[in-house]
Chain A
């Protein structure tokens, strides 16, 4: 089986400081990988490099495209990379405001990606927007409301709908549950887990919340100071951490 994403020795420097370095892994179709680590450990930098928002200084990010097979997205042309960003990739930002157009209605937000890839039938676009609102548990009656009238949890769900409407194969998530209270978080995680399994999505989830990866991720990668210090199956890493930093991370979680 060809991995959906092959990452080889990706490195990003901010001047003399290390953003992330020497990161390599394979992600297979249908697999969900968690990237955990404390603030400043380079996990968001890594995610942005993989999603094409930042240009890595070294390394390859090889994505298995539908048409041409595995292609290095770092060296591919910008139009092709941006096209991937609208079709096969999805990016869920930590703050829904970064991923939504706040002055455009919920329906327009969901429809944008469809229109970006050429949908020109209003009725169809709207029907799919309504369908997706339903799938992320937002009432159809809110389709013409602006996201600014939505709660934080709804905004986050809307952002997910907007990203998944073009049936992407790979979803990048940057702290998808950050800033939400626990009950809303639980509902969102439930929804995400359902969507990921149902659509057979591959996902990369960056988070500092171990509960999130415990629920969603098949595999785990632990980062510290720009380096990957431990990888493995989620349960294995969380239940039997080997690296000192992972042990610290796991033991820092408050048990209630």
Chain B
């Protein structure tokens, strides 16, 4: 154990963050301001998510961190180490075994359950930011439910690309009230936002926390004649053969060879261990 308070933040700060989380859960999709702290990592590396995780972690928790679906990228490894050191909690890479999952840009493929919490790292919490730069105005638009502008963005997509080209950070309406930025998850994950687990969103630099309680209706915005579509690369995973998972494209050489692999590394590994083999996969001894 170290000299840090449990999970790095002091108790008063955690109380403050928990109040914001509770308010966020009470008003689904509403961005609750909170006094974001300076964390020992740069903004943009998940300072918001880390603070939310610190506030919800208990010593009995099992913690998992993913970055773009993967457990073994720099961001995920360093945040996992951070809580191993400051909170001394158990960590895991198995989605089912974790009680708190901090994620950047993905929702795990495995279905989450009621006893799990999913914490998102959010770079820009305001879905209307790039359409209306004034914060005073966007707050007013949220409070008066003036969301026509969000459709202007989708209109522009269709008029320029012939389809809604927004493929990540796809705006959703939560509980038929607030329009919310689901953080830059691919729109493939949008249907999964209606889930059994608690979803908490933390934006450190922007000092906002918002939440989606379990089983809350989350609707992706669209047009009647251009309905929302959850898209992914039209391939099976080259390692595990999965056809239902979100894929990363990996360029193999300069001769145009490429492979598609599951972005969720835990999902891919567990499938391979169960004996599934993809086009470029090798048989693993179970």
Residues of A within 8 A of B (CB): 78-79, 82, 86, 101, 104-105, 107-108, 111-113, 115-118, 120-123, 125-126, 143-144
Contacts and interface: CB of A to CB of B under 8 A. Distances in A.
Given A104-B152, A115-B152, A116-B149, A121 B223 contact: yes
Of B148, B224, B226, most buried by chain A (CB within 10 Å of CB) is B148
A108 B223 contact: no
Nearest to B130: A103
Contacts of A121: 223-225
B160 interface: yes
Nearest 4 A/B pairs, CB to CB: A116-B148, A115-B151, A115-B148, A122-B223
Of A101, A112, A118, A120, most buried by chain B (CB within 10 Å of CB) is A120
Nearest to A122: B223
Nearest to A111: B155
B158 interface: yes
A175 B148 CA distance: 28
Interface residues of B, number: 16
A105 B156 contact: yes
Contacts of A116: 146, 148-149
Q: At the interface, is chain A mostly helix, strand, loop or mixed?
A: helix
A5 B224 CA distance: 37
Contact of B155 (A78, A79, A108): A108
Nearest to A144: B159
B22 to A, nearest CB: 27
A122 B226 CA distance: 7
A93 B132 CA distance: 18
11 contacts: A79-B144, A104-B156, A107-B159, A108-B159, A112-B148, A115-B149, A121-B223, A122-B224, A122-B225, A143-B159, A144-B160
Given A115-B152, A116-B146, A121-B224, 6 more contacts: A104-B152, A108-B159, A116-B148, A122-B224, A125-B155, A144-B159
A123 B226 CA distance: 9
B152 A111 contact: yes
A105 B149 contact: no
A51 to B, nearest CB: 17
